[in-house]
Amino acid sequence: MRLTYSYMGMSCSAMARASTTSDAFNAVAEPRRREILTYLAGAERPVLEIVAALGLEQPSVSKHLRVLRDVGLVRMRCHGRQKLYRTNAEAIRPLHEWAATFERYWQHQLFRVKERAEAMASEPSPSDIHVSDPNIKEK
């Protein structure tokens, strides 16, 4: 295997990149797809509404929706000539469960930040310390 850097005009051909349509994790690695999923979480929506709300080009949105459909994260139904898209909660569950494994870590980190902030708040600040100087008269 040959590891190289693209800015040096070199590449690594021994390792293939996973297809974005291979599973939900690869599909949501793309930030715009996460944006689309977040937007669809609120309600079922037509493509043009997604385009307008997110400020993306229609062909781009359609391509991202296709990837999300291929991995099962989004469902589509036709209503007349319109295609309506919505999230598939069951397919999103594995993503949620995986992310939840890190929740304890972040809760612990936030608890430590809270403890540190409370400790700092209970310590007197230098401006709170009043040193009595016999040469200074109070008014």
**Residue 72: inside a domain:** yes
Among candidates 99, 79, 74, 103, which has minimal Cα distance to 89?
Answer: 74
**Residue 137: inside a domain:** no
Do 74 and 44 fall into the same domain? yes
**Residue 53: inside a domain:** yes
What are the phi and psi torsion angles at 33 (to 5°)? -70, -35
Instruction: Report DSSP state, residue 7.
Output: G
Domain that holds residue 115: 93-122
**Residue 85: inside a domain:** yes
Report pLDDT for 106. 83
Q: CA 81: distance to chain centroid?
A: 33
Q: Are 20 and 10 in contact (CB under 8 A)?
A: no
Among candidates 29, 25, 28, which has minimal Cα distance to 40?
Answer: 28
**Residue 127: inside a domain:** no
Is a pLDDT exceeding 60 seen at residue 138? no
Strand order, beta sheet including 74-79: 45-46, 82-87, 74-79
Do 50 and 99 fall into the same domain? no
Report pLDDT for 6. 45
Report pLDDT for 7. 46
Of 65-74, 110-119, 121-130, the poorest mean pLDDT is in: 121-130
Point out the domain boundary residue: 71, 89, 107.
89
Q: Where residue 32 sits, what CATH number does that domain have?
A: 1.10.10.10
Q: Are 123 and 105 in contact (CB under 8 A)?
A: no
Do 80 and 111 fall into the same domain? no
CB atoms within 10 A of CB 34: 15
Which runs of consecutive H residues, i.e. helices, occur in 2-132?
A: 24-27, 31-40, 47-54, 58-70, 89-100, 103-122
Residues 24-59 have pLDDT tens digits of 888 989 999 999 999 999 899 999 999 999 999 999
Q: Which has more pLDDT, 122 or 17? A: 122
**Residue 4: inside a domain:** no
Residues 92-118 have pLDDT tens digits of 888 888 888 888 888 888 888 988 998
